[in-house]
Copies of this chain bind each other. A is one copy, B any other.
Amino acid sequence: MDVQQIRRDIHQHPELGFTEFRTASIVVEKLQSFGFDVMYGKDVMDESACRGMPPKYEIEEAYHVALNEQADAEIIKHMEGGFTGVIGKMSGNKQGSTVAFRFDMDALPIIEAEDEGHVPFREDFHSLHKGKMHACGHDGHTAIGLKLAETLKDEDFAGTLLLIFQPAEEGGRGASSIAANGVLDNIDKLYCMHLGLDAPQGEVWCGTDGWLATTKINSTFHGVSSHAGVAPEKGKNALVGAATALLNIHALPRYSDGKTRVNVGALNGGTATNIIPDKATMVIETRSDKAEINEDLEDRVKNIVEHSAKMHDLDYEIEIVGEGTTIQCDESLINTAFEEAEELNLFSSVKRMGRATGSEDASILIKRVQEYGGEGTYMLIGTDLPAPHHHPAFDINEKSLHDAVKLLNRIATKELIDK
């Protein structure tokens, strides 16, 4: 199996979060073919902890697209409704730790560049689905995970290897359902990784901090419409409530002991000039470099939404549609990664720690593992970026795929075989 070829296949067939039916189908098939014990669908995901599920019709449409593009009907039947997470498990004959690696699989709603300067276009593996694109490297992550599986398939482990293929990382939506499922609770060591981000080609960062805890919130205000000329007092104006919430959310205080961010990213409400608006929706996010500050902000935002609604006798709904937390990488995993990366002699620079920007929902998985007594780290494997993440011209240097597989293989070998 060629890691580059499989990355290109996935790149060509991008699937948005919770609709990675074709991708997950391939993952299941490959893992099974390598002898892994494979769980997927609701066996690895808690339905109630899925954040920001797409509308049903979008999931169904994607499902049919996947069927048309050679997804295995039998397999994805068990993923119906958006449960596209997959975990491959392989236990050895010897006792030992449970060591896991995590990969994400989802694409983004971006129209991919179509010009000769963009390698996927020039070499003819760009997105077949206009408006969807692997613009963050998750195609590479999935390919790395599968190739890693292949390289380890004939080993006899002292312990257990878990390969976690997570849906819907974008927006912080997929990790919570896997964490809540409990399937991670026996993990001793969890290695997470990302290509690129703040790490340049040739570098490996064995641990990272700086990740912002974040909560993504959808809120809806329900009022009563009435004719703005004939009986304005009969209406309950959802937009007045929403505008009040918006200003007050932005007016939340700065915190003296940590960074904060708040944003109302979108507000939509009302229909026509002459109708008192009966509905308004807002999407909101909070962030902080301290998890407890982010929780406090989230509580304050919810409180503002609630009382902005009640102030005008409106009903309201609040839904958490995404989340991430901070990451505290464990020293021993950083050490292992560092030593193996150094010995590998492939990288121009191996750093123990680096500072990331942004948010990442692997944080939810690491936190869960740590709460249950395990350890975790989040690594960056540098790659050339012709354009930033989430850009139509985003791409990776495929050399980093090979390097990543080699590094992860060494770590797994160290943790599970060379015992």
Contacts and interface: CB of A to CB of B under 8 A. Distances in A.
A287 to B, nearest CB: 5
B267 A273 contact: no
A228 B307 contact: no
Contacts of A32: none
B310 A230 contact: no
Contact of A285 (B230, B263, B274): B274
Contacts of A357: 229-230
A370 to B, nearest CB: 24
Interface string A325-361: 0000000000000000000000000000000011100
A284 B239 CA distance: 12
A313 B322 contact: no
A390 to B, nearest CB: 9
Contact of A239 (B234, B244, B264, B313): B264
Interface of A: 171, 212, 214, 216-217, 228-235, 237, 239-240, 242-244, 246-248, 250-251, 253-257, 259-277, 280, 283-285, 287, 293, 296, 303-304, 306-308, 310-313, 322, 357-359
Given A229-B261, A303-B313, 20 more contacts: A171-B273, A214-B229, A228-B261, A232-B253, A232-B263, A233-B257, A234-B256, A237-B250, A242-B243, A242-B267, A243-B243, A250-B250, A254-B254, A254-B262, A263-B274, A265-B275, A266-B270, A274-B285, A304-B312, A307-B311
13 contacts: A229-B287, A232-B253, A232-B256, A233-B255, A242-B267, A253-B276, A263-B276, A265-B275, A265-B277, A267-B267, A267-B269, A273-B322, A274-B285
